[in-house]
Amino acid sequence: MGVCKMKKKAPIKKIQKFAFNMKKHLLDTAFAAGESSAHVGGALSSVEINATLFSAIMRYKSQNPEWEERDRFILSKGHACLGLYTALVEAGFFPAEDLKSFEKTGSYLLGHTVKNRQKGIEFSGGSLGMGLALGIGVCLSGKKRKFDFKVYVLLGDGECNEGSVWEAAMAASHFKLNNLIAIVDRNKFQQTGKNKDIMDLGDLGSKWKSFGWETIEVDGHNIKNLYEALTRKRSLTKPYVLIANTTKGKGFSFTENNNDWHHSVLSRKHYELAISELMATKN
């Protein structure tokens, strides 16, 4: 694959196809994992976000994965790795066959991301609250070396309970990192329940704005809205954050807003139901 470049007209059908294929890969991978349960819910809420980034926004060369001028993607909510691995397959970083090794002994595709830049995995993930700080370091490095790449960091809304997120948010604003784009997958759940019951985030957009970020709120499953938000003209002096309102487990009747699917085994019965529901959306 060559370089993925931004396009003036929203390539909706291309992104939709990319997202559809990601969902099919995700279901196949979770089912093949057997008793190794997968974080299906948080991965599904991020599919359209990742599909838009990897098929229409980010600049990269899958055949030259360490190309210095590439845009970087950091999955801060590392448990949602199937939302990244499936995007990397569609982007040409490794074959779909490799997904069968997910969480198997010797695999490079683990239940939380482990850095493997040859496969497109820029950073390890797992300990929540770390990704934004990593992104700041990469942005500062890029500016010092006179590169114009962008760094995209995908966070969870439950992850925003971490104080380290807000320390990083302050730093990004202080250093005027206009090459940093954060996306908050706001699916309103975390591992043990609803965010509003565990630690209510309130007006999340206003919080980010008060930390000096240019802020926009979008439907995280509306590809046109995502594309427009990611390609709009932005501030030259501020970092940028998208609050992407999503549904945990988006796409399937038994997973949507069902926090049991934060981390569960996909049985054959559920797999077959999900595939039938997915195929019904194809046209």
Name the residue with tokens 């926090």.
Answer: 259
Any bridge partners for residue 182, and if so which?
153, 241
For residue 19, what is the enclosing H or E element? Answer: helix 12-32
Contact (Cβ atoms closer than 8 angstroms) between residue 32 and residue 175: no
Domains of the chain: 12-280 (3.40.50.970)
Residue 35: per-residue pLDDT: 82
DSSP at 260: G
Concatenated DSSP letters of 179-212: TEEEEEEE-SEETTEEHHHHS---SHHHHHHHTT
State which amino acid sits at residue 277. Answer: E
Q: Which among 194, 207, 171 has a CA at the least distance from the CA of 257?
A: 194
Contact (Cβ atoms closer than 8 angstroms) between residue 246 and residue 71: no
Bridge-based pairing of strands 193-194 and 214-219 is: unpaired
Residue 1: per-residue pLDDT: 42
pTM given for the model: 0.95
Question: How far are the Cα atoms of 11, 38, 76 from residue 134, in angstroms, in the given order?
Answer: 30, 25, 9
DSSP at 54: I
Both tokens assigned to 179: 């090459």
Binned average pLDDT, 10 residues per bin, the chain of 283 residues: 56 98 98 90 97 98 98 97 98 98 96 97 94 98 97 97 97 98 97 92 96 98 98 96 97 95 94 98 84
State which amino acid sits at residue 275. Answer: I
User: What's the rounded Cα separation, in Å, for the pair 136 and 179?
Assistant: 9
